[in-house]
Chains A and B, each alone.
Chain A
Amino acid sequence: MAARIPYWNINYGVIIDLLAIPVILIFLYGLYLQWQGIKKGRLRVIPSITSMFQGIGTFHPAAFFVKGILNAKIYRRPASGIAHGCLFWGMVTLFVGTNLVILNIVFGLPVFNGAFNRWFMAFLLDLAGLLVLIGVVFFLLRRLFMPERLKMPEARKGFVLVGSLLGFVIITGFVMEGARLSAGNLETGAFVGNFFASSIIGKANALQIHTMTWWVHGLLALFFIAYIPFSPLVHIILAPVNCGFADPSPGVKMGVMDFSAFDDEDAEELPALGADKLSDFTRKRFLDFSSCLWCGRCQEVCPAHNTEKPLSPKGVIVTMAQKLNNTEMDETVIDSMSMEAIFNCTTCAACMEVCPVSINQPKTIMRFRQNLVMEQGQIPELMGKAVSSLEQRSHPFFGTPSGAAEWRKDLEVPVFEPGKTQYLLWIGCSITYEQRAWNIGRAMVNILQKANVSFGILEDSRCTGDPAKQMGNEFLFAEIAQQNIEDFSSLGIQKIITMCPHCYNSFTRHYPKLGGEYEVIPHAAFIKMLIDEGKLNLDTKKTGGRITYHDPCYLGRRNGLYEDPRKVISCVGNLVEMSRNKNESFCCGGGGGNYWAEETGTRINQERAREALDTNADTIAVACPFCLLMLTDGVKKYTEDTRAFDIAEIVDKFLKDIPET
């Protein structure tokens, strides 16, 4: 069989190749315009990061490849994931094929010969075209029958045009191929082309049809390529780039704020705290806004959105994308979103976890919150009281009936002694001031004593400042953190055991940036370690019954600790999973300061409690005092029994005294 001849049946075919040059220029110009938009964002200035690219961030090749190129996250929704995969990998294959043709023309690369032609150029390219077509049809149909998440609050425009365009490119390609084969011989492997040749086109006008569709296909394809950067398809460039620049470590990563400029007499213009307009955001956020496809997966997993609250993470990003599109740089944006929505965010990070293009939605929301709190003094009333209380009495539990030492009444608890004690057992605010949480502290003290761990607590009650940070008051957080760091260093504290993931997150993520570096271990991990080392004499007859485990957002999604607590639970009972678990866990509703929220709509903790009870578990295990309080309350809607327990309480119950040796 003869090899395919370039420009067969075409006169002046080189015109298409020449036209490719301006098309590529237009394509690049389109990308340049995107960059011009993104460049308007503020530069990120973090002196400790030396590998900063253009004030956007550090480039992470692995994340770029896995999340950006392999699209690892998109398959979490199988139907649209596979359709996207068909489209994307089909196009990649076709792109390779087209380039091979060019190489054939220019360098005479023998691609149209033998098995390679049969399996790659004929079969695989036909298959790729077919897959792309399937993908296009799927996405066009879905634009016709849009699911809620795409529609609400608004669907991104431009997909139908660019999708149809691509569809036409593929169809004309097939018709052209069919006509060519029809005029010559059918080719083994080119199953779609053969089908078109034998069933649709016939021999009669094959040559004319070939010539015509050759030109149409070529011109349409060029137009399509030139149009990409001006259409939503620009995400084929922006999304991988955004994935590459997103810090791949889990969590929202709010960083810490430097307030020294405010104290500086000579400082001229003081930066805005948080953001209330587009120009307050950094280039990375601009990249977020540009990359967003408005797919709505974020709002689908958002605990606030799922319980009829006004917040939609998609809505926030969409609003910002529109502002960016219209270059409304300096108009206030907060007014167009309700304050309620901005404070609805539980900072659970489910949205950014699910986002296929690595957008950090919570960070944008938190920037608004910071602005409301720190610049405008606006905060919902109960949260305001919590923050004021934190400021006035170093804990946010205003109106608490508990005194600072009541949790450890009748309990011998050693106080941290510099140079003698190894671990600081950090108690934190909730365990001190919320009666239901006292027992976490008491149980943990008992566990540590039974395991002969050298530990001690601080004499006075403390807070890491995390609630202030979550409610947008970075200033108060920094003040509290600095005080703690100062006191820790005078006590020589190096190792800390935390019982609250919020404290853990503060110590590991934020304190180091303020100069406080410690070895911090969450109690779930510490207990796991004690069990592994055989330091706890645990009754492992698994009499604990069915136990389900609720992943606290600040331990799971934000810090990737999923297995240790599960292993601990498995020692004493039978672990059963909720439908949403590990990185897909659903928040208890208490994060982001929403422990102090006056909730509207369905209560998040009741929704989560329902899910937990649906597993028929006897016990709901948690590893966070706030989750414990929220779920204890949520369960009350369904049963009078106490079902939620902290992992320390559960382990404590199964501890046997180590016999004297």
Chain B
Amino acid sequence: MHIAVLAKVVPDYEVPSMDFELSNNRAHERFSRMLGLYDENAIETGIQLKGKTSSSLTIISYGLESDIQFLRKGVAMGADKLVLVKGTSDDAGIIAQNLKQAIDNLEDVDLILAGQQSADMDRGVVPGILAQMLGTAFIPQVGYIDYKNGDWTVSQMTATGQRELEFQGPGVLSITSIPENVPRIPAVRAIFAAKKKPVIKLNGIEQGKMPLQEISVEIPKIESVCEFIDAQDPNEAVKSLLTRLSEERYI
């Protein structure tokens, strides 16, 4: 079997709010680039599944050629090859078109995993678009995946609990983080081996742009002045906290 994991290289998602700045309406280039947060969960899920089902695993990304160095970490975690579709668009439609091109190129993909959302645009919509383009089912917020007798069984984390879902044939799943898919740390041997794994580069296409016009990107002003309550005596602290909360009519 062949599992594909979609991954995106994004600007550091941990940049503190105070330090965040934009250039050309995007995160400033000075921030380090790295694999997306949930993408690493998806890769980890994929690798575990690869072990269980003796599949091969391909990481697919749409982005810059300079992203390859960061995608290698994902390869080092245990993927077999990397496909990069070169392009710079942030449009969900264009990204999905390009990813579809990569998947069509691979021909034999049985399951596609993606992080629940990219750590820059935070949309979570590309996997659904891609699924529809491929004519397969899309299931968001997936935790566990199993393969039994030709059926995929997955658990979907809903707002109120969990659902167990079953389907056949290819599908696109977006992966959320669960304690079991904390990304592994690649061994040094694997890091070196990853340098020798094949990287397929495809030229991107500018098709499928969504009729959406970007107007502006702005950093919201957060105004909050924290009133610190002296904690030397817990009783006093609690008392003054409750007084302040009711004075300000919060409770």
Within 8 A of A (CB), among B41-95: 73
Of A374, A378, A399, most B-chain CB atoms within 10 Å: A374
Q: Which residue of A lies closest to B232 (CB)?
A: A640
> Of B104-112, B156-164, B182-190, B243-251, which stretch is located at the interface?
B182-190
CB–CB B185/A388 < 8 A: yes
CB–CB B185/A373 < 8 A: yes
* B34: Cβ under 8 A from any A Cβ: yes
B32 proximity list for chain A (CB < 8 A): 392-394
Within 8 A of B (CB), among A619-636: none
* A47: Cβ under 8 A from any B Cβ: no
A373 proximity list for chain B (CB < 8 A): 185
* A262: Cβ under 8 A from any B Cβ: yes
Instruction: Beyond the given A377-B184, A475-B188, please list 9 additional residue pairs across the A-B interface where CB-CB is below 8 A.
Output: A374-B189, A388-B185, A392-B34, A393-B14, A398-B14, A402-B16, A402-B18, A403-B15, A404-B19
Q: Which of B14, B19, B190, B195 interacts with A406 by CB under 8 Å?
A: B19
B→A interface (CB under 8 Å): 12, 14-16, 18-19, 32, 34, 73, 182, 184-192, 195, 232
A404 proximity list for chain B (CB < 8 A): 19
A→B interface (CB under 8 Å): 259, 262-263, 270, 273, 373-379, 381, 384, 387-389, 391-394, 398-404, 406, 475, 640
Q: Which residue of A lies closest to B231 (CB)?
A: A640
Q: How far is the CB of A633 from chain B (nearest CB, A)?
A: 15
CB–CB A262/B189 < 8 A: yes
Q: How far is the CB of B102 from chain A (nearest CB, A)?
A: 25
CB–CB B189/A270 < 8 A: yes
Q: Which residue of A lies closest to B73 (CB)?
A: A391
Q: Which of B16, B188, B192 interacts with A375 by CB under 8 Å?
A: B188
CB–CB B185/A401 < 8 A: no
CB–CB B12/A377 < 8 A: no
CB–CB B14/A399 < 8 A: yes
Q: How far is the CB of A505 from chain B (nearest CB, A)?
A: 23
B188 proximity list for chain A (CB < 8 A): 259, 262, 273, 374-375, 475
A-B contact pairs, 22 of them (CB 8 A): A259-B188, A259-B192, A262-B188, A374-B187, A374-B189, A375-B187, A375-B189, A377-B184, A377-B185, A377-B186, A377-B190, A378-B185, A379-B185, A381-B182, A388-B185, A393-B12, A393-B14, A394-B32, A400-B16, A401-B18, A403-B15, A403-B19
- Give Cα distance in the complex from A26 to B246, angstroms: 89
Q: Which of B16, B182, B185 interacts with A387 by CB under 8 Å?
A: B185
B186 proximity list for chain A (CB < 8 A): 377
Q: Which residue of B lies closest to A460 (CB)?
A: B30
Q: How far is the CB of A127 from chain B (nearest CB, A)?
A: 60
B14 proximity list for chain A (CB < 8 A): 389, 393, 398-400
- Give Cα distance in the complex from A391 to B32, angstroms: 10
B184 proximity list for chain A (CB < 8 A): 377
B192 proximity list for chain A (CB < 8 A): 259, 262-263
- Give Cα distance in the complex from A381 to B187, angstroms: 15
A273 proximity list for chain B (CB < 8 A): 188-189
Q: How far is the CB of A640 from chain B (nearest CB, A)?
A: 6
Q: Which of B16, B34, B73 interacts with A401 by CB under 8 Å?
A: B16
B19 proximity list for chain A (CB < 8 A): 402-404, 406
A392 proximity list for chain B (CB < 8 A): 12, 32, 34
Q: Which residue of B lies closest to A398 (CB)?
A: B14
CB–CB A403/B16 < 8 A: yes
B187 proximity list for chain A (CB < 8 A): 374-377
- Give Cα distance in the complex from A401 to B20, angstroms: 11
- Give Cα distance in the complex from A207 to B190, angstroms: 80
Q: Which residue of A lies closest to B185 (CB)?
A: A377
- Give Cα distance in the complex from A394 to B16, angstroms: 15
Q: How far is the CB of B190 from chain A (nearest CB, A)?
A: 8
Q: Which of A391, A399, A403 interacts with B18 by CB under 8 Å?
A: A403
A394 proximity list for chain B (CB < 8 A): 32
B73 proximity list for chain A (CB < 8 A): 391
A262 proximity list for chain B (CB < 8 A): 188-189, 192
Of B182, B188, B189, most A-chain CB atoms within 10 Å: B188
- Give Cα distance in the complex from A404 to B12, angstroms: 13
Q: How far is the CB of A602 from chain B (nearest CB, A)?
A: 23
Q: Which residue of A lies closest to B21 (CB)?
A: A403
- Give Cα distance in the complex from A508 to B53, angstroms: 50
Q: How far is the CB of B33 from chain A (nearest CB, A)?
A: 8
- Give Cα distance in the complex from A378 to B182, angstroms: 12
Q: Which residue of A lies closest to B183 (CB)?
A: A388
Q: How far is the CB of B123 from chain A (nearest CB, A)?
A: 22
A374 proximity list for chain B (CB < 8 A): 187-189
Q: How far is the CB of A435 from chain B (nearest CB, A)?
A: 11
Are A384 and B16 also in contact (CB < 8 A) when A263-B192, A393-B32, A393-B34 are?
no
- Give Cα distance in the complex from A262 to B189, angstroms: 7
A400 proximity list for chain B (CB < 8 A): 14, 16
Q: How far is the CB of A389 from chain B (nearest CB, A)?
A: 8
A375 proximity list for chain B (CB < 8 A): 187-189
B182 proximity list for chain A (CB < 8 A): 381
- Give Cα distance in the complex from A402 to B188, angstroms: 30
- Give Cα distance in the complex from A446 to B188, angstroms: 42
B195 proximity list for chain A (CB < 8 A): 263
Q: How far is the CB of A433 from chain B (nearest CB, A)?
A: 10
- Give Cα distance in the complex from A387 to B19, angstroms: 22
